[in-house]
Structure 1
Amino acid sequence: MSNHSIQKAESHSLMHDAKKRRILGDVLSHLFLGVMAVIWLVPIVWVFAESFNKNTAPYTRTFFPTEFSLNNYIALFTDRSVLNFPKMFMNTFIVAIFVCLISMFFVLSVAYCMSRLRFRTRRTFMNVVLILGMFPGIMAVSAIYFILKAVGLTGEGLTTIALILVYSAGSGAGFYVMKGYMDTIPTSLDEAAMLDGCTRLQVFYKIIIPICKPMIVYQAIIGFLTPWLDFVMAKVICRTQSNYTVALGLWLMLDKEYIQNWYARFAAAAVVISIPIAILFIVMQRFYQESMSGSVKG
């Protein structure tokens, strides 16, 4: 057998072995991802099934319910004698909408200033914000509460305003991701627009904002989810049940005083509060895809 034939056979064998290893790797990868998907989906499926459980008690003999009913959803919105879930839901929704809009404005404004403007204390400000961001926000909870109490925002009917202020006031400090995206936009676009007679404000909302749509989508989601899912700050500020958010409502449903009758309703409430989040992700994903396709075409 010639050397050429031997080399060809060895090459074919190596290719065959590489193909087998690639197939084995793909099988193991898909098997691992399948197991992880099952682990991830089982709690979600269980909560959804439990929300229809006819038995409202927390302890059952089977993992999944055996009898199903819509009573949990009906009672969640009609039975307001113990927990007023619709009120809690509306409180949280109002806070989340306002915080989403305000935080988006703050982050865009601060990121634009840090990315495009040059002034003496710019780098010092960025370093201070970076250092402060290393400390967890829970450290300031007590101080924030006493400040709100001093200005009279902890009273009945004012906690919604207090929550909006607390969640949105410091949102401008989270400008680093938005600034990093703005830094990728060529400054020549700004200069060309200003040569055509645009002001800084016109450059901001006619050029920068349209290009930053993907990051605006990201900021809108973060701004909405922060008050929607937060528990610690809401627990400190909201003192009465009429001012509770959905996170506090779900926590109260698992209290030993209510858990016997509200456990299945807790699962129903968990499904209900996930609906606005799912809608937000679906809507924002469409805008994100449109903005990315537009930027590629441009």
Structure 2
Amino acid sequence: MDIKKIRILEKIAIYILLIIIALCVLIPVIWIVLSSLQEGNSLFSSTLIPKKLTIKHYINLFKETDFPLWYWNTFRIAIANMCISVVITTLTAYVFSRYKFKGKKAALITVLVLQMFPSFLAMTAVFILLSKLNLLDTFTGLILVYSAGQVPYNSWLVKGYFDGIPKTLDEAARVDGAGHMTIFLKIILPLAKPIIVLVAITNFMGPWFDFIFPQLVLRSQNKRTLAMGIFDWIQKGANDNFTMFAAGAILVAVPITILYMFLQKHIVKGLSAGAVKG
């Protein structure tokens, strides 16, 4: 068998593998979407495509539950965490990438060690600290927990990207009279757009799907997040209404899907560049 035939067979095998992986990903998504649109309460149907499609489960989700409130609470927390984390992370990474100071190496090692431990290991300490600061059952307390917990890993990732930006640009800007903040805002940040987009999305996704910390910090009914609200809804008997649950799952996935669709190029570039340059 000649080399050309071998290469053709390799390509065919790769495409078959990719098709199988795509089907494994898409079939559950298509199934849950169709399930949310079918009549009745069961996820099972006698046909591949339901005979009659309806959006009543989406309507009932807003009428019979506090889903809009859970959605709004989670959205506010995610946006606030994203903004605060991006600011803290980029500033921290810029300091470690561009400044020289005593204890820099020890600080970097400390950050590296901290990112090795899951944040939920500190749940008891977090609870006591927030209790002492009167921040239990507040969105502020929860946002502080998220923002602080995501700084170590993100700082290392962003620092790796900043290290790949030539320092000659900084020197040229200083010759023209630019200060550190001007260099950071007008030179570094525009060039680091891919990694910043990646950090922003990951910090948005954290609170969006998290259940552990909201359950620890929040107590009031009107402050529940999506994860808390849906879990409580299931506990109270919503497991008899799978189609409405499917509708809720689709709505939860919508914001993340939209973000990935529009920012896919920046995400891929940020992941590859940050990993290589770090």
Of the three residues 85, 90, 108, the one matched with 1:103 is 85
After TM superposition, give the deviation of residue 269 of structure 1 in Å: 1.0
Task: Tell me which residue corresponds to 1:121.
Answer: 103
Task: Tell me which residue corresponds to 1:281.
Answer: 260
After TM superposition, give the deviation of residue 128 of structure 1 in Å: 0.7
| DSSP-derived class of the 1:276 partner | helix
Per-residue deviation, residues 69-122 of structure 1 (Å, max 9, x unmatched):
21110011122xxx3110000000000111111100011100000000000011
Contact 1:213 1:288 in 2 (8 A): no
Of the three residues 2, 15, 19, the one matched with 1:34 is 19
Task: Tell me which residue corresponds to 1:5.
Answer: none
| DSSP-derived class of the 1:105 partner | helix
Q: Distance in 2 between matches of 1:129 and 1:246?
A: 31
Higher mean C-alpha displacement, 23-32 vs 248-257: 248-257
Q: Distance in 2 between matches of 1:140 and 1:203?
A: 37
Aligned pairs, number: 268
Per-residue deviation, residues 141-178 of structure 1 (Å, max 9, x unmatched):
222122212222224xx2x2222111112333220111
Q: Distance in 2 between matches of 1:205 and 1:289?
A: 23
Task: Tell me which residue corresponds to 1:50.
Answer: 35
Aligned-CA RMSD value:
2.2
Q: Which runs of 5+ in 2 are unaligned?
A: 271-278
Of the three residues 190, 212, 219, the one matched with 1:210 is 190
Q: Distance in 2 between matches of 1:258 and 1:130?
A: 43
Of the three residues 59, 68, 71, the one matched with 2:53 is 68
After TM superposition, give the deviation of residue 184 of structure 1 in Å: 0.8
Of the three residues 212, 228, 240, the one matched with 1:248 is 228
Provide TM-score, normalisation by structure 2.
Answer: 0.89
After TM superposition, give the deviation of residue 285 of structure 1 in Å: 3.8
Q: Which runs of 5+ in 1 are unaligned?
A: 1-15, 292-298
Contact 2:161 2:195 in 1 (8 A): yes
After TM superposition, give the deviation of residue 63 of structure 1 in Å: 7.8
Computing the radius of gyration from Cα coordinates, the structure with the larger value is 1
Is 1:178 the counterpart of 2:158? The answer is: yes
Task: Tell me which residue corresponds to 2:171.
Answer: 191
Is 1:161 the counterpart of 2:143? The answer is: no
Q: Distance in 2 between matches of 1:27 and 1:282?
A: 28
Q: Distance in 1 between matches of 2:265 and 2:166?
A: 26
Q: Distance in 2 between matches of 1:146 and 1:46?
A: 44
Change (3 A) 1:289 1:40: closer
Of the three residues 264, 272, 278, the one matched with 2:243 is 264
Higher mean C-alpha displacement, 141-150 vs 99-108: 141-150
Of the three residues 93, 106, 116, the one matched with 1:134 is 116
Change (3 A) 1:289 1:141: closer
Provide TM-score, normalisation by structure 1.
Answer: 0.83
After TM superposition, give the deviation of residue 57 of structure 1 in Å: 4.0
Identical columns (%): 35
Higher mean C-alpha displacement, 87-96 vs 247-256: 247-256
Q: Distance in 1 between matches of 2:212 and 2:165?
A: 38
Change (3 A) 1:40 1:137: same
After TM superposition, give the deviation of residue 135 of structure 1 in Å: 0.9
Contact 1:106 1:171 in 2 (8 A): no
2:260 partner amino acid:
F
